Amino acid sequence: MHRLIINPKYEHWRPMIASIPQTFDHISEVLRDRRNVIKVTAAPDGTRLNVKRFHKPQFPNNYVYAWHIRQPKGIRALFHAYILQGLGIETPEPVAYIEERHEGALGLSYFVSLQCPYTHRLYELGDAPEGSYEEITDALARFTAKMHDHGALHLDYSPGNILWEKIDGEYHFSLVDTNRMYFGVVDMEKGCANFARLWGPKRLFCRLARTYAEERQMDADECERLILLYRKRFWKKYVRKHKNDIEFTLEL
């Protein structure tokens, strides 16, 4: 059994979207090939589409989804994209959600969106030399402050999930992988903790904290203390588990 939810704007693509479970393995442009696979394909008019296939959940999650205790990741990504757009926060335009079920149990599922044209991710700030990151750091702080002021918190706010581009002298950011979001009041502690997964030298985070605090009218010293605290906690734990995976000079 298949379930298809499609953005009304793209109803004219229904036949092509509905065929994705059958055509996915034949799509040649692969962005990520891990547990969840991301590929890029084209709509009938040539529009580039991002298709993320979520793996079949294992026990006990297959029952969690079968009994509707929790919404599948793909449908959360779809609805969260609508919410973010309504708040004026950039994220790729949602196109559709497709799921396969077998005797009620969730099988493979797919989230389809327009492909974001931005070419950069925040990995580039990993070993940023002083003098090369100040503008983008301030812009990121302002973007994040706006998001938090609007009651949105990306629960995997990491370098790979923030796309950016500098257009006509201004930085633009777009959120991806939005199936894990919190919507509600974002206080100082929650907001400062949200930066913990980002990469970059310690001085970058000190600047980030100051600009973020200014935008949200918070105490700058306390913001800096909290951001550095949560950053240190996250990365010390990460290093214990993945010490060979650090791709930048980690200064705690």
DSSP per-residue codes, the chain: -EEEEE-GGGGGGHHHHHTHHHHGGG--EEEEESSSEEEEEE-TTS-EEEEEEEPPPPTTHHHHHHTTSS--HHHHHHHHHHHHHHTT---PPEEEEEEEEETTEEEEEEEEEEPP---EEGGGGTTPPTTSSHHHHHHHHHHHHHHHHTTEEETT--GGGEEEEEETTEEEEEE--TTSEEES---HHHHHHTTTT--S-HHHHHHHHHHHHHHHT--HHHHHHHHHHHHHHHHHHHHHHHTT---S----
pLDDT-derived band at 132, boundaries 50, 70, 90 = confident
What is the rounded average pLDDT of the residues 68-87?
A: 91
pTM (two decimals) = 0.91
Looking at residue 134, its pLDDT comes to 94
Looking at residue 249, its pLDDT comes to 65
> pLDDT of 221-239, one tens digit each?
999 999 999 999 999 988 8
Q: Does residue 146 surpass a pLDDT of 70?
A: yes
Looking at residue 56, its pLDDT comes to 84
| Contacting residues for 14 by C-beta, under 8 A, at least 6 apart | 4, 6
* The two structure tokens encoding residue 111: 């989230």
> pLDDT of 160-210, one tens digit each?
999 999 999 999 999 999 999 999 999 999 999 999 999 989 999 999 999
Which of 34-43, 150-159, 188-197, 235-244 has the weakest average pLDDT?
235-244
The larger pLDDT score, comparing residue 251 to residue 106, is at: 106
Q: How far apart are CA 173 and CA 164, in angstroms?
A: 4
Q: Does residue 212 surpass a pLDDT of 80?
A: yes
